[in-house]
Structure 1
Amino acid sequence: MNIDFDMLRHIMPQAKDSDIQHYLPAIQTRLATFDINTPLRVAHFIAQIAHESGQFKYKVENLNYSARALRLVFGKYFQTDDIAEQYARNPEKIANVVYANRMGNGDIGSGDGWKYRGRGLIQLTGKENYRTCGNAIGLPLVEQPDGLANDPNAAVMTACYFWHSRHLNQYADQDDLKSITKRINGGYHGLEERAKFLNRAKQYLEIQGADV
């Protein structure tokens, strides 16, 4: 099916033209490889990456937290105001703490938390996930993690791989936005915005049915 600039502009009205153009060729060529090949599947996929990437604005995880935000979001790691103040507004130090010793990453001193922080349209995080995904799509993501931020092909293929590995086409076929969102987000964060993107996609693709 045809995915064009006007479609992405309609779904993501706040996206920059340059960002749409950055991703468009990869979206046009890569989705079908992962069987994202019907209007409903495409609508759900685009709706999710629109939300996850801030309408194509974000390519790398934003870890520029204030001390207060660190206490709220990562209280497990920053248990006092004094500790939080030591890390506030230092994304690299924050990443190396919160992502240490999990997802295949080494300890704080390894720097893996920062090196394998979230990147891509559906943010890939952690060395083991970079390795598994890279092996599946044939890209050296462990050796070249910044490729996910700089190469639109890598970003789109990684999002498609995530989608396929979680069997999300079957939920798209059922028009089940909540199940897709939970499998991507772990909960229902941003569900209302995801629904708006999905409804615009359905409108553009002339998919029949009530709004989400």
Structure 2
Amino acid sequence: MFSSRAAALIVALLGVFTLVQPATAAPFIVSEAQFNRMFPSRNGFYTYSGLRNAMGAFGSFANQGSDTVKKQELAAFLANVSHETGGLVYVREINQSGDYCDETKPYGCPAGTRAYYGRGPIQLSWNFNYKAAGDYLGINLLSNPDQVATNATTSWKTAIWYWMTQSGPGTMTPHNAMVNSRGFGQTIRSINGSLECDGRNPAQVQSRVSKYQQFTGIIGVAQGSNLYC
């Protein structure tokens, strides 16, 4: 048995140890007021709490590098999301008649060949993206893709999943583009570069850049370089 003096000493030492533990870094998150300024006409489905909850599943999202980099990354993500959804207005793609089923995949399209149209903040589309996102998140999105349009946290998670893990037509993930100072333009290339970059659709690129400039202004952070693709 410990003496009362020994026990007191242990408690004191534990208290000192607790005090000197390094603080866990927290991701940058816009305030709800800033979020509302960015998306004044947003669909009620896209909740601020849904975004916050989804961010908790991705420890490095808006949480890598300096405070400036963290703020720039979140501004870049939200700018692209705004462009994809008309300011967080659209939950589902307007034209849902497209065939986004790659039938060469062994898992096929169990929800139907026309069930994998764009949904959510990043407008997730194609059966292979629903499969990959669902596998990562532990949700069967391949069989029930409409979960991306009916659960706000899941919807935000699919957008952050793409941002953090997919390079699309680009050469790096949007996350890596921002934390490695490659610029906002590289995020466009990774999301829709094959249709917009290199002069293919400068108006769409400008739309994304303008949103990024607006959102960095709201947050109060420099835009950085290489805004175009």
- Note the alpha carbon deviations across 1:68-109, whole angstroms, 9 max, x for none: xxxxxxxxxxxxxxxxxxxxxxx5xx33xx3354474859xx
One-letter amino acid of the structure 2 residue matched with residue 155 of structure 1: S
Q: How far apart, CA to CA, are the structure 2 residues paired with 1:150 and 1:59? A: 9
* Residue in 2 that maps onto 1:24: 48
CA contact (8 A) 1:130 1:145 kept: yes
Note closer, same or farther for the CA distance 1:192–1:103 as it changes in structure 2 (3 Å cut): farther
- Note the alpha carbon deviations across 1:20-44, whole angstroms, 9 max, x for none: xx32112123225432221111111
The CA deviation at 1:17 is 6.8
* Residue in 2 that maps onto 1:168: 174
More helix by share: 1
> Structure 2 residue aligned with 1:3, among 27, 30, 33?
30
- The TM-score with structure 1 as length reference comes to 0.72
> Structure 2 residue aligned with 1:180, among 187, 192, 195?
187
- The TM-score with structure 2 as length reference comes to 0.67
SS of 2:145's equivalent in the other structure is coil
Stretches of structure 1 lacking an aligned partner (at least 5 in a row): 64-90
Aligned-pair identity (%): 19
Number of residues of Structure 1 aligned to a counterpart in Structure 2: 176
One-letter amino acid of the structure 2 residue matched with residue 99 of structure 1: Y
Note closer, same or farther for the CA distance 1:54–1:194 as it changes in structure 2 (3 Å cut): same
Q: How far apart, CA to CA, are the structure 1 residues paired with 2:141 and 2:101? A: 19
Note closer, same or farther for the CA distance 1:164–1:131 as it changes in structure 2 (3 Å cut): same
Considering only CA atoms, is the larger Rg found in Structure 1 or Structure 2?
2
* Residue in 1 that maps onto 2:130: 130
* Residue in 1 that maps onto 2:61: 36
* Residue in 2 that maps onto 1:159: 159
Stretches of structure 2 lacking an aligned partner (at least 5 in a row): 1-27, 63-69, 167-172
One-letter amino acid of the structure 2 residue matched with residue 149 of structure 1: A
RMSD between superposed Cα atoms in Å: 2.6
* Residue in 1 that maps onto 2:20: none
Q: How far apart, CA to CA, are the structure 2 residues paired with 1:121 and 1:45? A: 10
Greater alpha carbon shift after TM alignment, 142-151 vs 28-37: 28-37
* Residue in 1 that maps onto 2:212: 198
